[in-house]
A and B are shown apart, each in its own frame.
Chain A
Amino acid sequence: MSSTAYALTDSWTMTRRELARWGRRPAAVVVNLVFPVMLLLMFGYLVGGGRGVSGDYLDFLVPGMLALTMAFGLEGTMIAVTQDLDKGVIDRFRSMPMANGAVLVGRSAADMLQSALGLTVLLGVAAALGWRPQGGPDGFLGAVGLLLLFRFAMLWIGIHLALIAGKPELVQAVQILVWPVGFLSNAFAAPESMPDWLGTVVEWNPMSQTATAVRDLFGSPGGEPGHVWAAVVWPLALLAVFFPLAVRRFSRLSR
């Protein structure tokens, strides 16, 4: 077999390993899928209408929750990578004649799959609650693409941070950071309703860029035309920084 073929089979083997791990703890997988649904129901019905939102709150909230789900995926990535490092299994992989990148490719493929599943469940629940996207099939696919692109950027940030942290215990520190980043966004409320400084922070949050663009593509309140570019450029910029950093960090495990 050629080295490209090996790289592909090894990556696929590593992806399958993750799927086998899901099979081992189905409850955890379900909780992961249900958590964003719970947030959606909580904010949609218990907390009630967001401040500064014109139009239907559910229409505003669904894209926000989709983006938030992608952002929270960062935690899952970090936990998985630090666990592998801690259990030494990454050392075994590194001592075997397998393709160099397969460990990271397998991780990305599995995490993207999980996030795609998360998106599907959330969209399904929203549809069941009566939510309907208005942007047509192109807009819908574009929105899903932007969300997954944002998740992909989060994924590589997660891998990089996990390789720095090294230990699962340190992930908690990052979890504490992910929450403010998730909530200091326009997921639940319009930035116009916030104090100036806060509104500025929120508008610059890359997650808000994605949410705004998705609202635009879904024809929801809170969407602004022209934001799609920002939602493409931001994740790409993050990837341009964190992808090489993570790869370098991984290859430097041998330092």
Chain B
Amino acid sequence: MADAAITVEGARKTFGGKHALDGLDLTVTRGTVHGVLGPNGAGKTTLVRILSTLLRPDAGRVEVAGHDVVREAYAVRLRIGLLGQHAALDEELGGRQNLELFGRLHHLGARRARARADELLERFELSGTGPKAVKQYSGGMRRRLDLAASLITEPEVLFLDEPTTGLDPRGRAEVWDSVRSLVGGGTTVLLTTQYLEEADQLADRICLVDAGRVVADGTADTLKAAIGGDRIDVVLRDAGQLGAAVALLPVAKDAVTVDTDRRLLSAPVIDRMAALTGVVRALEEAGIEAEDIALRRPTLDEVFLRLTGHDDRTTEAA
């Protein structure tokens, strides 16, 4: 595709017999934000490392900004920015020193590297850090500097691997704002995340990755429709009444999940407020006492359960 910034066809990567990528396909249109959503171990980092030329795929065709990541790695490196899952900075040096170093390695020359460093420090509100070493930075500051470092040359394609994992809500909002302003400037962004909400907020298109493959692909809206929108959770005081309560929910019986241990019923709903008031009234009329009633978004677990037909989130200790 002519307007594709990223093309991945049948990418495979195996680590000692384990398939990290198992025939992954992906196309990202120029100037858009693509969210890659997946649980621990899905292969998100492996994908980003292959796209950013850090890792060679075992098989498949991978092109970034029109260049093959294996045969034309240098051309790809000229056009990308990378924010890895973990900070990639010289912790002994200060923020300015880091940015100047990376600027020089991008062959900006001493003067432009310095000017660019100042510009980025300003933009990411790090000008006040002075000579402080990066190892003394807070998590949010470090992430912002890392993001600044990946933007030295205003890349055509930017990779963000779990950009907000481990940040507090404020840090998260800051990173989101930066990403939005970048996209306004025409950059193509591929971002991985474990949070549905993050993909929802930032991405034009989202693909769900599980066990090294794309299991679903679409806009946030089409995916949400596919997984049934909001859900209502009802916790009863008495587990013996679970059966009776199922019949009161405004959905087909087999769409309700019942968790006896937690005395919990959960069901997809369409009209949030109507469902909530309806359920409260119906329970009251039937004389069933509820401990808690809540509306919520589907969790990633439910998305996966729904789309893969199996709940195999292998939550590995990171």
CB of B92 within 8 A of CB of A21, answer yes
Q: Which of A74-133 contact B (CB under 8 A)?
A: 87-89, 91-98, 102
Contact A91-B77, Cβ < 8 Å, known A1-B107, A24-B92, A24-B93: no
The count of chain B contact residues (Cβ–Cβ below 8 Å) is 28
| Shortest CB distance A19–B (Å) | 11
Q: Is the CB of A91 within 8 A of B133?
A: no
A interface list, Cβ under 8 A from B = 1, 6, 9-10, 13-14, 17, 20-21, 24-25, 87-89, 91-98, 102, 253-255
Contact of B101 among A13, A87, A97, A255 (CB under 8 A): A13
| B77-119 to A contact mask, C-beta < 8 Å, 1/0 | 1101010101111111100010001101111000000000000
B101 touches A17 (CB 8 A): yes
A-B contact pairs, 6 of them (CB 8 A): A1-B107, A14-B105, A91-B82, A97-B107, A253-B54, A254-B54
Contacts of A10 in B (CB 8 A): 105
Q: Report how many A-B pairs have Cβ atoms within 8 Å.
A: 73
User: Which chain B residue lies CB-closest to A100?
Assistant: B74
Which residues of chain A are near B54, meaning CB under 8 Å?
A: 91, 94-95, 253-254
Nearest CB of chain A from residue B182's CB, rounded to whole Å: 17
Top 10 A-B residue pairs of the complex, sorted by shortest distance between their CB atoms: A92-B88, A88-B88, A97-B77, A97-B78, A98-B105, A13-B104, A95-B82, A95-B52, A24-B92, A21-B92
Please, how many angstroms separate the alpha-carbon atoms of A225 and B89 in the complex?
50
Contact A89 B90 (CB under 8 A): yes
Given known A10-B105, A96-B77, contact A254–B56 (CB-CB < 8 A): yes
Q: How far is the CA of A5 from the CA of B92 in the complex (A)?
A: 28
Interface residues of B (CB under 8 A from A): 52-56, 74, 77-78, 80, 82, 84, 86-93, 97, 101-102, 104-107, 133, 149
B79 to chain A, nearest CB (A): 9
In the complex where A13-B101, A255-B56 touch, is A95 in contact with B80 (Cβ < 8 A)? yes
Contacts of A253 in B (CB 8 A): 54
Q: Give the docked Cα–Cα distance between A97 and B67 (Å).
A: 14
Look across to chain B and name the residue whose beta carbon is closest to the beta carbon of A22: B92
Residue of B nearest to A28 (CB): B92
When distances are taken between beta carbons in the complex, the residues of chain A under 8 Å from B80 are: 95
Q: Which residues of B contact A94 (CB under 8 A)?
A: 53-54
**CB closest chain-B residue, reference A90:** B88
Residues of A within 8 A of B53 (CB): 94-95, 254
B203 to chain A, nearest CB (A): 22
Q: Which residue of B lies closest to A13 (CB)?
A: B104
Option from B91, B104, B106 in Cβ contact (under 8 Å) with A97 = B106
Question: Closest residue of chain B to A92, judged by CB?
Answer: B88
Contacts of B133 on A, CB cut-off 8 Å? Answer: 24
**Known contacts A13-B101, A92-B88; 6 further A-B pairs (Cβ under 8 A):** A20-B93, A21-B90, A89-B89, A94-B53, A97-B78, A97-B106
Let me know if A92 and B89 touch, CB within 8 A.
yes
Interface pair A21/B93, CB less than 8 Å apart: yes
Residues of B within 8 A of A98 (CB): 105-106
B91: which A residues are within 8 A, CB to CB?
87
Check if B107 sits within 8 Å of A6, measured CB to CB.
Answer: yes
Residue in B closest to A1 when the chains form the complex, CB atoms: B107
Are A87 and B87 in contact (CB-based, < 8 A)? yes
Cβ-defined contact, B92 with A96, below 8 A: no
Taking a contact as CB atoms under 8 Å apart, the answer to whether B86 and A93 are in contact is no
